Amino acid sequence: MNNLTAKFMNLVKFFEGKGSKQYFLGGIAIAVLILFACTFSMTTSYSVVIDGKNMGQISSASALNQALNASKAKAQQETGMTITASYNTVEAKATHGFFSDKLSNEELNSLIDENVEWLAPGAMLNVNNGEIQLALASEADAQKVLDKLKENATANAGNAVVKSVDFLQDVAIEPGNVKASEIASPEKVLEKIAAGKEAVQTHKVAEGESFWTIAHNNDLSVSELQNLNPNIVPEKLQIGQEISLTKLEPLVSVVVTKEVTVEEAIAHATEYKENNSLLKGETKVITKGADGKKQVTYEVKEANGATIEKVALNEVVISQPVTEVVSKGTASIKISSRAANSSGVLSWPKSGKITSPYGTRSRGFHSGIDISAKTGDAVYAAAGGKVVLASWYYAYGNCIVVDHGNGMKTRYAHLSAYNCKVGDQVARGQQIGRAGNTGRSTGPHLHFEVIVNGSTKNPVNYLK
Ligand SMILES: [Zn+2]
């Protein structure tokens, strides 16, 4: 260094001096000095580049090869697989630069271990074109997974005839290089498939449903459903309220199509016959009804054990049902001033067959029952109460509403005539109007509704 300082001092003297000879000598001194500096501090080094990204400097390319070989041997030992190549592209790029920090061998080894994945020949189980990828050691292992899934799905088919077993998702086995660290045994892959993912489903509460029925219909326990809906109070379900049914769904769903033959009852019909020797509101069974029996063969589609489709393929009637015949009184009218809610029952507003029941039908929800009638037939108050409507009311046509108190009302629609007016106090069984075909009606009949606290109920449950 003393030497260098001396040269530098000389150089300074040259600059201070005068004349071209001195300048020339000064130039040579600078050149020598730069050359000296270069050989001293500027060397060839290598950048470790992984997937195009500079990760650090090393002094020799062979150091990288050594680190790669060590990492590869380690991967080979840990996985027991024959490593074919690295998943990442790794290169040593020569660079010329001034002094820079070089990675130690230890640092280089851990850099490679942490950033380079190794490939081994195996097979990929691709679900939905790679949406989910499961690496296995071989095609045979992957096939084992699929076979086991199908085997499990059909294990408890009982006496059903299994027609086909398919996967709901698009499932394919692709042999090729896979990341050695991701290869799992068929057992582990099956566990992973079963552990699945959360599928969000919701349910809108319909009339008549309870927390219990919703849980039951969705294969959940009440406490499971409560856990999924911590903010919902089971006793305070509202119609139309959304309930979460989020549940785990396996990564691969198995759809089993099978044929099942079961014996089922054929419900019997009930026919009402008017009888004027019986009091109105009284009934008498003439012929006891009996359900029939049939053998039905269904094609049932199940996904993960739950039925997703059920189609009847064939029906064989074993025994026909017997229609129940009931005599229905039409004679004299029992007048009663009891409120409907105190007796809990309503009288029939007129005798006749129910030609359309309460509930869902093809044209939508039917909010009452239709009772067969001829135009002009007498219509009676189902219970004592006050007439609150006796006028044309949209699709109901000529319409009467009787308020029985305590939240209960009855409605009589499509009438041809009124025998009462708004404000009248009427008794149970008192004639209030006449049946007809007014409003949206396809023929003479009595449309009868029971309204409790503002919502319609099935009148059959309130009629005597
Ligand atoms: Zn109707």
CA max distance for the chain: 151
Q: Is it the case that residue 21 has pLDDT exceeding 80? A: no
Q: Which pLDDT belongs to residue 334?
A: 36
Helix then strand count (H, E) for the chain reads 9, 31
Across the chain, what does the average pLDDT equal? Answer: 85
Q: Which pLDDT belongs to residue 64?
A: 94
pLDDT tier for residue 278 given thresholds of 50, 70 and 90: confident
CA of residue 254 to ligand 1 center, whole Å: 45
CA of residue 370 to ligand 1 center, whole Å: 5
Q: Which pLDDT tens digit goes with each residue over 401-456?
A: 999 888 889 999 999 999 999 999 999 999 999 999 998 888 999 999 999 888 99
Q: Which pLDDT belongs to residue 219?
A: 76
Q: Name the residue among 187, 325, 164 with its Cα closest to residue 257.
A: 164
**Percent of the chain residues past pLDDT 70, beyond the cut:** 86
Q: Which pLDDT belongs to residue 389?
A: 95
Q: Is it the case that residue 333 has pLDDT exceeding 50? A: no
Q: Which pLDDT tens digit goes with each residue over 344-380?
A: 579 999 999 999 999 988 778 899 999 999 999 999 9
Task: Collect all residues with Cβ–Cβ distance below 8 Å to 408 and sequence separation of at least 6.
Answer: 340, 341, 383, 450, 451, 452
Q: Is it the case that residue 29 has pLDDT exceeding 80? A: no
pLDDT tier for residue 222 given thresholds of 50, 70 and 90: confident
Q: Is the Cα torsion angle 411, 412, 413, 419 positive or negative in sign?
A: negative
pLDDT tier for residue 38 given thresholds of 50, 70 and 90: low
pLDDT tier for residue 22 given thresholds of 50, 70 and 90: low
CA of residue 461 to ligand 1 center, whole Å: 16
Q: Which pLDDT tens digit goes with each residue over 288-304?
A: 999 999 999 999 988 88
CA of residue 447 to ligand 1 center, whole Å: 4
CA of residue 363 to ligand 1 center, whole Å: 11
CB–CB of 196/249 below 8 Å?
Answer: yes
CA of residue 337 to ligand 1 center, whole Å: 27
* CA count, 13 A, side-chain hemisphere, 328: 19
Q: Which pLDDT belongs to residue 463?
A: 87
Q: Is it the case that residue 340 has pLDDT exceeding 50? A: no
Q: Which domains are assigned to the chain?
A: 1-116 (no CATH), 122-196 (no CATH), 198-249 (3.10.350.10), 256-325 (2.20.230.10), 334-461 (2.70.70.10)
The more confident residue out of 8 and 235 is 235
CA of residue 265 to ligand 1 center, whole Å: 29
Q: Is it the case that residue 12 has pLDDT exceeding 60? A: no
pLDDT tier for residue 11 given thresholds of 50, 70 and 90: low
Q: Is it the case that residue 40 has pLDDT exceeding 60? A: no
CB–CB of 297/244 below 8 Å?
Answer: no
Per the DSSP assignment, residues forming a β-bridge with 314 are 297
**Of 63-67, 184-188, 190-194, 223-227, which range is least confident?**
223-227
CA of residue 98 to ligand 1 center, whole Å: 95
Q: Which pLDDT tens digit goes with each residue over 419-432?
A: 999 999 999 999 99
CA of residue 432 to ligand 1 center, whole Å: 18
Residue holding tokens 């379900």? 237
Q: What residues have their beta carbon closer than 5 A to ion ligand 1?
A: 370, 447
Q: Name the residue among 169, 167, 174, 87 with its Cα closest to residue 138.
A: 174
Q: Which pLDDT belongs to residue 227?
A: 84
CA of residue 411 to ligand 1 center, whole Å: 11
